[in-house]
Amino acid sequence: MGLIRFIVYPASVIDDLPEAYRGYLTGADGRVFSTRIEVEDNIVGCRRMSSESCKFHVAWPVPGFGRPVIATASLPEREQPYLLPVELARGKIVQVRNQASQWELSGMRVPPEFAEPSRLAHRAFSRAASCQDRPEEATQLANEALHHACAAAEILTKGYANQALQGRLQRFQGLPASIGCELQGSIPSPDANELFSAAFNSATVSIPWNKIEVVEGEYNWEPCDRQLEWCEQQKLMVRGGSLLDLGPGGLPTWLARWEHDIFNLQSFVCDFVETAISRYVGRIRLWEIAARLNSGGALALTEASLLTLAARVLDVARQVDEEAQLLIRIDQPWGDSQARGQHRLSPMQLVDALLRSAVGLAGVNLELAVGYLPRGSAHRDLLDISRLIDAWSVLGVPIHATLACPSSSDDDGLAGPEWEVEPRMWAQPCDEAGQAEWIDRVLELLLAKPSVAGVSLSHFSDGDPHTFPQAGLLRPDGTPKLALERIITQRQRHKRRD
């Protein structure tokens, strides 16, 4: 078993973090190791089965940027512990410098304001690296270097997004990507129809099996029919699903007696998928077949069983409607869940296996639910989100993204009971202004990516039952939040013929 250790000043930086955000190790190829974190005084020990060089990823407090996940450079094991903030500063500076070079080679004009924070980051880091025998001083300088490196990354990525998006708009005479919202069983009130249409050109009709067939053999399609009719009246592009939620509690409870009988279980699952797609064939052409395939948790299904089930379901869906486009939703797309040692395959390896099996998978939906526990993603900066999309683009299929970000840390009685907001990730208070800023910046970046075919928000109103706490665009009283105004502004700015 390999062990790599880090010195942290002050020790409270790690003690203050939720267990899920305390860090994990990745290999040179990006795969996430099953990582055991051990904290003793101000020493953080990271154990995994391999002894090869690795990167340590941890949610680290950066002045002015909250607690984004920062990664070290690739480090070999050694007897002496590394000083963690110095290695995090080294890793961030290398990442920013390499990305700037790549984008310059591709024809991007690096914004002139990038030079100063980049220079300051290198200067502070060189001083920090040269005084590691004085850990507290080195930590202060390394944190200063991280601040400037993150500022440089922000300027660089915003410059890329602006230039790439302008190029995309010119080529297509409009935005070649959909901007939508998930309905989650409800339709907007008549007073909100105009707001919805101003912000979105697509919508996702929720088709949750565990609510449609609560009792075996008894279906209730009325909410789905109502949502689809509303979408057609509003002339929106429609996505259906997810048909199967493979996370905890996502499947009908009566299915539990078949969880150890994979053949009968497949029969029930395929029968529902066939029934749902047949009901709406010709009306819904884009289907999200399954969600949370990579993290799992439904019944007692193993990773292999989930993959086999997904392949079978995709094959059945393709037979029912040959014209349909079929998606799989991936949560925690950075692969954080692998750090707990419950998964052998990374999220990308799972999707790649389905693509290679030729079962009709036509795209992937990445769920960016940031600031939620226990199964959301930790906060990352724009550059890390950009690199995530680029990594998934290698698969060569269209990418969709679903965004969720809290506008408050208050209790939300209409949200999924298994979710809670983690407010300590953000530089600013967890409020509506912070939600609007994050959605605005991430939406523009995603729309600039050639591989992104669509972006959806997790739900419209906090006054309707929903999954993610406080992530809606309307308050419970129906008044719009600032985030909705930002989306409408972006849509109008980019709108020509979309």
Per-residue model confidence (pLDDT) at position 194: 92
Q: Are 390 and 98 in contact (CB under 8 A)?
A: no
CA torsion 72→400→439→479, rounded to 10°?
-150
Per-residue model confidence (pLDDT) at position 497: 43
> What's the start-to-end Cα distance of the chain, in Å?
54
* Nearest C-alpha neighbor of 155 from the set 101, 118, 104, 102: 118
Task: Extract the tokens encoding 163.
Answer: 């230039």
The continuous run of DSSP H or E covering 379 comes out as none
CA torsion 190→192→194→198, rounded to 10°?
-150
156 and 243 fall within a common domain? no
Q: Are 405 and 371 in contact (CB under 8 A)?
A: yes
Phi and psi of 118, rounded to 5°?
Answer: -65, -45
159 and 232 fall within a common domain? no
Among the three residues 164, 196, 227, which one is the final residue of a domain in this structure? 164
Per-residue model confidence (pLDDT) at position 20: 60
Q: Are 286 and 238 in contact (CB under 8 A)?
A: yes
250 and 153 fall within a common domain? no
Q: CATH no. for residue 354?
A: 3.20.20.80
Among the three residues 141, 164, 187, which one is the final residue of a domain in this structure? 164
Per-residue model confidence (pLDDT) at position 125: 98
Question: Beta partners for 2?
Answer: 48
Q: Is the dihedral of CA 20, 26, 32, 38 positive or negative?
A: negative
Report d(CA 123, CA 429) in Å as an integer: 31
193 and 79 fall within a common domain? no
Report d(CA 136, CA 495) in Å as an integer: 52
280 and 156 fall within a common domain? no
* Nearest C-alpha neighbor of 89 from the set 131, 47, 52, 48: 131
44 and 137 fall within a common domain? yes
In a domain, 289, yes or no: yes
Per-residue model confidence (pLDDT) at position 34: 85
146 and 276 fall within a common domain? no
Report d(CA 174, CA 496) in Å as an integer: 5
Which residues of the chain register pLDDT less than 50?
497-498
Report d(CA 380, CA 30) in Å as an integer: 16
Q: Are 165 and 449 in contact (CB under 8 A)?
A: no
480 and 440 fall within a common domain? yes
The continuous run of DSSP H or E covering 266 comes out as helix 262-279
* Domain count for the chain: 2
Per-residue model confidence (pLDDT) at position 283: 95
In a domain, 169, yes or no: no
50 and 183 fall within a common domain? no
Residue labelled with tokens 């984008």: 103
Report d(CA 118, CA 97) in Å as an integer: 8
Range of the domain at 206: 175-494
In a domain, 73, yes or no: yes
Predicted structure pTM score: 0.94
195 and 146 fall within a common domain? no
Per-residue model confidence (pLDDT) at position 87: 97
157 and 67 fall within a common domain? yes
102 and 192 fall within a common domain? no
